[in-house]
Structure 1
């Protein structure tokens, strides 16, 4: 088989999808697209198929393996069991769909927060860290001793679904008081709209935050306090060497990382300092690079010329 072997990373988000293919001897190729607003699963699969066909046209050789970062809950076979942001995906055999779109390519799916944590640990040279990803939801992952904890065989690291307020808001998952219900991008926008007494879009929130308007400051600060609560509780159990804060929202609001750390320090017990907090080195691309790492580590048959 001629051409340059490629490895494909796919980061499936609640609002958009990022795709990157790379391999030795060719320039990487990256593209993104946004999901349609209606959430129809057939339309979504058609959009993904068109994008992957575009990638295959641009890449000069075979695609050996694809790693997929997913925020949805998957079973061990790669079937979607739940995804509040796109409920029509429930029951979708995503792994089978991707194998259909990528014939001859090995495919594996994993939690986006887990993959982001692994990518950030590799980028920072840390064997032990806690990762928070703030975007359409709140994801996360933990790397201990250089390996994911608890490990993909036992399930994903769902820090966004830690209950921090039993009398709080209802989460998209159906439970009350999850971190995600207070600290995801949409949750912060909803809180900002309440405080402003009118609708708020992401650009307006960024500009108001830059000008330090009170409604924007309170909305973001409250979310950071919730994230810090999750960090402190998790750090008591895992003792990570560092906390990395990433995701699209954190990438757009660089002040979020030190603000989470400030709240975490205020919650720390005497003699138990919180680990240092750092912004994600890979910015909003942590899950995408984690998906690429997954692709490179998949056991696949050797390609024969």
Structure 2
């Protein structure tokens, strides 16, 4: 457990936050201003059985509970890789095969002395974080995207995050932008994720003739480095990803009149390799007068987005923190 060096012990509104993904389970105690006061972390035993994965979650919670600040925790927020079903309190992360319909909210509630527990998907958590402390702060209507191994997202509508009935609203990665495109693992075809996720950017670049450099980096980060150096196949892969993202963002703006699109996740780390063609393509797709002012900006909450978003959900007095049958 790591305790941050600067915090106000008199601060109120403390939340325990969990950020659950395929590689790590992170936990934190977060105050009402968004300061992370205590941290804990375990690797996700993603290929193990369901109880082993839950054991890692329990270990993170136990470490947080060992803090002298634990007594001030009012609620617990969970941001999890999805799909999630916030109404039922269950999770089925694609990259944690043993968890299918796993009753995570019930299991966490049993370990936190009856404190309220709120579950959101990781895209919704990132959205809540960016609206609370990041680039979407001050916007009443926003779309936030996580572009990484997959492509997720979430919405802010009317000044507050809008997770939808099951917690999956805003999942832009599975909007189809190519009706005759490649089949997607979701069952659709030509989805944004199938074109713009990190593995699919790398797949496209390799198919077009790009080859990794001496460091052997065959990921989207390696493609981005090659694109900066002028490799045409690498630039083409990012241009195509940007076009898919622009089409999905424009469709969302047309439907919901969002005013800003905030893009985070590992692929966003490519910087202008991604954002320059994304802004250019967005001008081609967002053509109606009420969509033209749409801004596209990088996320600012970084790797803490999941924890901050889970805490924001937990501390929201309007949150639905109890699963329904």
Q: Shorter-chain-normalised TM-score: which range? A: 0.7 to 0.9
- Is residue 286 of structure 1 aligned with residue 285 of structure 2? no
Residue pair 1:7, 1:295 contacting (<8 A) in 2 also? yes
Residue pair 2:120, 2:163 contacting (<8 A) in 1 also? no
Structure 1 distance, partners of 2:113, 2:47, is 28
Residue in structure 2 matched with residue 303 of structure 1 by the alignment: none
Following TM superposition, by how much is the alpha carbon of 1:229 offset from its aligned partner in structure 2, in angstroms? 0.7
Residue pair 1:245, 1:279 contacting (<8 A) in 2 also? yes
Distance 1:187 1:22, change over 3 A: same
TM-score (norm 2): 0.79
Residue in structure 2 matched with residue 207 of structure 1 by the alignment: 225
Distance 1:24 1:91, change over 3 A: closer
Which has a greater percent of helix?
1
Following TM superposition, by how much is the alpha carbon of 1:150 offset from its aligned partner in structure 2, in angstroms? 6.5
Structure 2 distance, partners of 1:202, 1:40, is 30
Structure 1 distance, partners of 2:150, 2:260, is 22
Q: Choose 150-159 or 62-71, whichever is displaced more.
A: 150-159
Residue in structure 1 matched with residue 88 of structure 2 by the alignment: 77
Q: How big is each residue's C-alpha offset from its partner over 1:163-185, in whole Å with a ceiling of 9 and x where there is no partner?
A: 11232223232322221111122
Residue in structure 1 matched with residue 154 of structure 2 by the alignment: 141
Residue in structure 2 matched with residue 268 of structure 1 by the alignment: 286
Residue pair 1:67, 1:294 contacting (<8 A) in 2 also? yes
Residue pair 1:140, 1:158 contacting (<8 A) in 2 also? yes
Following TM superposition, by how much is the alpha carbon of 1:7 offset from its aligned partner in structure 2, in angstroms? 0.9
Residue pair 1:128, 1:146 contacting (<8 A) in 2 also? yes
Distance 1:59 1:104, change over 3 A: farther
Structure 1 distance, partners of 2:267, 2:171, is 18
TM-score (norm 1): 0.84
Structure 2 distance, partners of 1:24, 1:277, is 28
Residue in structure 1 matched with residue 58 of structure 2 by the alignment: 49
Structure 1 distance, partners of 2:296, 2:196, is 17
Structure 2 distance, partners of 1:64, 1:128, is 28
Distance 1:201 1:101, change over 3 A: farther
Q: Choose 197-206 or 87-96, whichever is displaced more.
A: 197-206
Following TM superposition, by how much is the alpha carbon of 1:132 offset from its aligned partner in structure 2, in angstroms? 1.4
Long gaps (5+) in structure 2: 1-9, 320-325
**Runs of 4+ in structure 1 over 4 Å off:** 24-27, 152-155
Structure 2 distance, partners of 1:37, 1:190, is 24
Residue pair 2:46, 2:96 contacting (<8 A) in 1 also? no
Q: How big is each residue's C-alpha offset from its partner over 1:111-157, in whole Å with a ceiling of 9 and x where there is no partner?
A: 22223223322332111112111122211122122033464468522
Residue in structure 2 matched with residue 17 of structure 1 by the alignment: 25
- Is residue 220 of structure 1 aligned with residue 233 of structure 2? no
Following TM superposition, by how much is the alpha carbon of 1:67 offset from its aligned partner in structure 2, in angstroms? 0.8
**Superposed, which structure 2 residues align to 1:187-266 within 5 Å?**
187-195=200-208, 196=210, 200-250=218-268, 252-255=269-272, 256-266=274-284
Q: CA RMSD in A?
A: 2.9
Structure 1 distance, partners of 2:120, 2:249, is 22
Residue in structure 1 matched with residue 138 of structure 2 by the alignment: 125
Following TM superposition, by how much is the alpha carbon of 1:230 offset from its aligned partner in structure 2, in angstroms? 0.3
Following TM superposition, by how much is the alpha carbon of 1:295 offset from its aligned partner in structure 2, in angstroms? 1.4
Structure 2 counterpart SS, 1:269? coil
- Is residue 30 of structure 1 aligned with residue 30 of structure 2? no
Long gaps (5+) in structure 1: 301-305
Distance 1:220 1:40, change over 3 A: farther
